[in-house]
Amino acid sequence: MLNNTEIIGIDHGNRNMKTASSVFSAAIQPLQTRPDSLENILEYQNKIYYVGGQVPVMERVDKTDNDDYYLLTLAALAKELKFRKLTSSKVMLGTALPPRRFQQQKDGFKKYLSKTKELHFKFEGIHYHVTLENVYVFMQGHVVIHTLIKDNSGFCLLIDIGGGTVDLVGFVDGMPDGNYAISDKAALYCINRVNEEMVARLGTSVPPFFIESFMRYGDYECPDKYRIEITKCLREYSSEIYDIIQSNNYNLDLTNMVFMGGGASIIQHFGNNKDRNVKFVTDVCANAKGCEEAVKSILRARRKIQNERTA
């Protein structure tokens, strides 16, 4: 909290919504009637929604083209406020967009999330009242490099492997150097690719959560034939990511690389990382936490300027 206002960061992912303390599926569907169990039930403007479930294995390029992400934002606010033992609060909201979407979409995304200042809604039967003081939109990855990486001096290359895109962003002393590269060979691509290979090699598909468990933890309890083939696929995918980095003229032996996003754990577990200068930010809530720290930094800087003017 800062000045009696809660600072809440939300990461609006293709697969999952994240706050500093929660992760849940970025899926929402309307219901015709109020169910007996209110678990994962959002009530807003006399409509009822179920939050969670399966999401399409695809990138949602413009998250403002319908109300889904607005409603998911309400659910995220409720989850974070519940964690903080609050049901009513003023809120400064921080969120982030991928580098390639940032300049084009930041104003529209802020307008989308800011359309109602006084929010009244229920989540899991609990009424929440949020006074939205402001919305800040940052660049994904930048908030992590700038606020959460302790030693960000010199040059480093951020490789943010999200659900729909792999974003390569260069940083000098914690600030973007203006060089960006993009690939669509991200986590969703990896899941689809592994499944295609399972069908080709073993004649059967596997559930996405099964593949994601391998991606996240490096292993999963299963018959050896699946473990062997999935491991091969994820090693091949890791090599593809390093090939993308190299094809953008970065020397793999000399570049300080920071991997983050949902796919960072794939490289950590299955990549050829020996003798390379690599760091891994595998906390899926890192962008949300970074957004909170970035908002706090802005507010503290403004307070310092005000104090200097009145001194």
- In this predicted structure, what is the pLDDT of residue 188? 85
pLDDT of 303: 82
Q: Is the pLDDT of residue 178 over 70?
A: yes
Q: 99 forms bridges with which residues in the sheet?
A: none
Q: How far apart are alpha carbons 6 and 171 in whole angstroms?
A: 30
Q: How far apart are CA 272 and CA 238, in angstroms?
A: 8
Of the two residues 175 and 206, the one the predictor is more confident about is 206
Could you report the per-residue pLDDT of 213-244, keeping only the tens digit for each? 999 999 988 899 999 999 999 999 999 999 99
> In the predicted model, what is the mean pLDDT of residues 29-52?
96
Q: What is the pLDDT of residue 154?
A: 84
Domains of the chain: 5-139 (3.30.420.40), 151-282 (3.30.420.40)
| Per-residue pLDDT band at 58 (split at 50, 70, 90) | low
Lowest mean pLDDT among 60-74, 145-159, 174-188: 145-159
pLDDT of residue 139: 86
Distance (Å, whole) CA 127 – CA 204: 46
**Which of these, 125, 130, 132, lies nearest to 42 by C-alpha position?**
125
Mean pLDDT of 180-208: 91
> What does the pLDDT read at residue 311?
67
pLDDT score, position 106: 94
**Predicted local distance difference test score (pLDDT) of residue 153:** 76
> What's 261's DSSP letter?
S
Distances (CA, A) of 236 to 24, 84, 247, 260: 29, 42, 16, 19
In percent, how much of the chain has pLDDT > 70? 95
156 vs 84 pLDDT, higher one: 84
Tokens at residue 122, please? Answer: 């229920």
pLDDT of residue 194: 94
pLDDT computed for residue 56 by the predictor: 67
60-97 burial, b at 16+ Cβ within 10 Å, e below that, comes to: beebeeebbbbbbbbbbbbbbbbeeeeeebebbbbbbb
Half-sphere exposure of residue 285: CA atoms within 13 angstroms, side-chain side: 14
Nearest to 41 by CA among 86, 79, 70: 79
Give every strand in the sheet of 278-281, ordered side by side: 175-183, 166-172, 155-161, 257-260, 278-281
Give the tens place of pLDDT for each residue, 83-132.
999 999 999 999 988 777 788 899 999 999 999 999 999 999 999 999 99
